[in-house]
Structure 1
Amino acid sequence: MTTQGMTAAEKIRAKAARAKQHQEQTEPDSARPVPSAAAPHVKPIRSTVDLLPVKHASFKAWCGETAVMIGRARVTTQDVIRVLVDRLLTDETLARKVRDDLRKQ
């Protein structure tokens, strides 16, 4: 194949294709890397929820009261959601109640 009349980009692509073909012909299968599974996602994933203003105010008040009751400076929405998700995933009674509430919506 002649490279006359080819752009620089076309020449580079052609050279890369030839190199890959040569490598595939000379490299034994055992030397080729085995594709691995994607690494698991470890960075926390943000979730948000939209609440009616009255429910938001009530929830914030509950967080404030709870902070006082458990002796903390504050309890955040994030604190509560994390605990609720953990409970939901481990407490079948709570999970059943949540499913029932979801059916009623």
Structure 2
Amino acid sequence: MNTTIEADSTLTDRYQTTVPATVRHALKLKRRDRIHYTIRPNGEVVLSRASDESSRDPVMTSFLAFLERDLQEHPENIQAVTVSTFAEAERLTSGVEVDMDEVLPEDDDDA
């Protein structure tokens, strides 16, 4: 989009607003779509279409849904992380260096 589009909207008493039609059309927004806000240090706010839920990893989504259900159905299984548990985790991972920017290799089907 090379053209600058400007529009105004008003906040209600409940801090809600209507996204102006020009913005909805420019972002191809439909009812129930999600909007992402980026607030820059200078106070500028960039509004964009939020990433599509369907683009998320379905396995991870299913796993997280399973965890949520399990935690809700069996809250008695929730245990606090103790100092000794944390110390054990630190012991097991000491000396392990992780480069968060490293590209992960493709899955090896021969393994």
- TM-score, normalising length from structure 1? 0.26
Structure (1/2) with the larger strand percentage: 2
Bigger Rg over Cα: 1
- TM-score, normalising length from structure 2? 0.25
